[in-house]
Structure 1
Amino acid sequence: MCYDWLMVSERDGERVVPPGDGRHELLKEVPGAQGGGGSESLTTVLVAFLANVLIAVAKSVAAFMTGSASILAEAAHSWADAGNEVFLLIANRRAHKPSDELHPLGHGREAYVWSLFAALGLFVAGAAVSITHGVQELITPEPAGHFVVGYVVLGVSFVLEGISFLQSARQARAEAQTLQRDLIEHVLATSDPTLRAVFVEDAAALSGLIIAAIGLIAHEVTGSSIPDAIGSILVGVLLAYVALLLINRNRRFLVGQEADPRVREAALQALLAAPEVARVTYLRLEIVGPRMISVIGDVDLAGDDTESHVAVRLRALEARISASPAVAGAVLSLSAPDEPSL
């Protein structure tokens, strides 16, 4: 059974962990133990960026030719998404900078900072522009034309957005299966903000294209721009919801969030399975970046060594834990005799 960053297998109903001889790290990252998760996220963002730039240009031309409010809203949406992907690329790059004296746990939380900027950009450049233009269209309606151009652009955009969405869904589904989560649960819970942002934004983009198409069809059939304007407003509301969702998720990781309880349980069992650990009385796993945690705990070591030997054994145990690519740092202390075991 595998949970998030810890690899814990099962054999004959019993948990199996790496042997405690110092030759193996105590905790192993599950997905992307060799950094594959980061490169996969980079591919997902690049695919989304290229798709959104092409779509934004096409929608802008179509909005100019048709005069459709909902297509203009979609153009603003795509330009906002393309700009957001730049922030996500920065987030992916800066989050993988190595640790230094000023940042002993690495720079992983920078991913949430830049992803937060992207979400704010989606709210301002996407939602606000779409809603404002829709309201203006209701107040001062303008006729539209060249509807066929609009339909073709929306259709091509749907295909391109679908390609980007399938890439993010493929990555998310593979990780979700490893962690025994359903797809949506994993997207909302993952510590990778770039994967979450691309998946959610692509899903919103596909929904927005459907809304825009309905608004454009209603405009052509009725001859009234009101349905088109309402479509623009609905696209803006959808983008505002998505932006607030992403802002809230990044906020929670920035202020400090514990790892999934299943991850904590797997880590606890792995520690207890180590031959040098008799008890664990405190354990805190905090997410400090995409697929990265810090480990803080109190343990009771087996045997009755002198104080100097105990300190050496604690440092060795910390080193084994920190050897996992998923662990940014580990700090262990000795448990007090009267502290209950977890």
Structure 2
Amino acid sequence: MPGEKRSSSSLFTVLLAFGANILVAIAKTIAAAITGSASLVAEAAHSWADAGNEIFLIQAERAAAKPRDDSHPGGYGRDAYVWSLFAAVGLFTAGAVVSIMHGVSALSSEEEDTNYLIGYIVLAAAFVFEGISFIQSYRQAHAKASDAGTNTFEHVLRTSNPTLRAVFAEDSAALVGLVIAFLGLLLHELTGNPFWDALGSILVGVLLAIVAFVLIERNRRFLVGQPGSDRAWEAALAALLEHPEVEKVTYLHLEYVGPERFYLVAAIDLRGNDREADVAVDLQDVEAALEESPWITEAVLTLSRPGAKALVPASVP
């Protein structure tokens, strides 16, 4: 089913981001200890939060890949949203809250920062590492957006792949946060007023809080039941109508049960006038054919009500 192309590159993107965040977090922590910069403390907290979140995202990828079984006939795909939700909450608590609290406490500080050069060097190096990770996540998102026929940022917001969205959002926030931290450090050096450095820490925290809330809300929607996109719905309808046993479809519902995985419910009319026992077998055959698709975790079909209006693909006038 077209719309979202499954790929093993998601795990590679997460692992790349994890490695970059560990290296950057260590460097930022050392620089924050040397300089005393509130903005660097916020950035260190940001990177440690991101690194910890990647562990949740790796688990999300593993959980979603488990095949369905008798205890979970709908599969384990929604586990990906649970683990991604944990990651988003972690970004808020370990990143946003720590950064804002430290920035607020630093507003009243009169301590002069030193070794600005070390701070600039670490921020520049971090920008390079975070940039490499962002380029990888952007390429993956752009390729999938092209397959889905949407722009990159719209696809990231709407995709059913929570790890792709989380890594892209965290990498984007990391680059913006580094710019904010640089400006806070620079204005502190130019004016001699630690207010700007403290403000940089607060702004980094606000940025992380916004990103965390967006990620939490998107995962919540998929956990409570997100219907399939119009493109996926059209593809599912076409797949049903292409089956030789199906005469018409009068009802069709698609719901995400994991990254790029659907639960399908439909009411159909079968060709011919078979006996009830034969009709049951025919329905099961169509269900089995649908579930051979990598996109359909489970399909449930029933017979249409007499006189129910047939659904027509959008491409048919």
Q: State the TM bucket, normalised to the shorter chain.
A: over 0.9
- Which residue of structure 2 aligns with residue 302 of structure 1? 271
Tell me which residue corresponds to 1:314: 283
Are 1:152 and 2:121 counterparts?
A: yes
8 Å contact from structure 1 (residues 92, 111) kept in 2: yes
Q: How does 1:86-165 map to 2 (within 5 A)?
A: 86-165=55-134
Question: SS where residue 175 of structure 1 aligns?
Answer: helix
Q: Corresponding residue for 2:250? A: 281
* TM superposition outliers: structure 1 runs of 4+ over 3 Å: none
Match for 1:184: what amino acid? Answer: F
Three-state SS of the structure 2 residue aligned to 1:294 is strand
Secondary structure of 1:318's partner?
A: helix
Could you say what the CA RMSD is over the residues aligned between the two structures, in angstroms? 1.0
Q: 1:234 aligns with which of 200, 203, 209?
A: 203
- Matched position secondary structure for 2:48: helix
Identity of aligned residues (%): 58
Residues 35-73 of structure 1, C-alpha deviations (whole Å, 9 max, x = no match): xx2x21100000000000000000000000111000110
Structure 1: unaligned runs, 5 residues or longer: 6-30
Are 2:171 and 1:202 aligned? Answer: yes
Cα displacement string for residues 290-322 of structure 1 (whole angstroms, at most 9, x for unaligned residues): 111111111001111111111111111101100
1:17 aligned residue: none
Partners of 2:243 and 2:286 within 8 A in 1 = no
* TM superposition shift of 1:141: 3.2
Q: Distance in 1 between matches of 2:35 and 2:89?
A: 29
Shift of residue 338, structure 1, vs aligned partner: 2.3
Task: Give 3-state SS (helix, strand or coil) of 2:127's partner.
Answer: helix
Cα shift at 1:266: 2.1
State the shift of 1:270 in Å.
Answer: 2.4
> Contact conserved, 2:109 with 2:194, CA < 8 A, in 1?
no
State TM-score, norm by structure 1. 0.89
| Whole-angstrom distance in 2 between the partners of 1:68 and 1:209 | 13
Corresponding residue of 2:32 = 63
CA-CA distance at 1:269 after TM superposition: 2.2
Q: Distance in 2 between matches of 1:161 and 1:139?
A: 31
AA at the equivalent of 2:206: V
The alpha-carbon deviation at position 142 of structure 1 amounts to 2.0
> CA–CA distance in 2 between the matches of 1:227 and 1:53?
27
Q: Normalised by the size of structure 2, how large is the TM-score?
A: 0.96
Note if contact 2:75-2:297 (Cα within 8 Å) is conserved in structure 1.
yes
Task: Answer whether contact 1:294 1:329 (CA < 8 A) is retained.
Answer: yes
Aligned residues: 311
CA distance, structure 1, for counterparts of residue 220 and residue 131 of structure 2 = 28
Question: What secondary structure, in the 3-state scheme, does the structure 2 residue paired with 1:236 have?
Answer: helix
Which letter maps to 1:269?
A: A
Query: Deviation string for 1:258-311 (max 9, x for gaps)?
Result: 010121122112212322211111111100001111111110011111111111
Letter of the 1:57 counterpart: I
Contact 1:3–1:180 under 8 Å retained in 2: no
Q: 1:128 to 1:141 in 2, by over 3 A?
A: farther
Counterpart CA distance in 2 for 1:294 and 1:41 is 22
1:216 aligned onto 2:215:
no
List aligned pairs for 1:315-334, cutoff 5 A.
Answer: 315-334=284-303
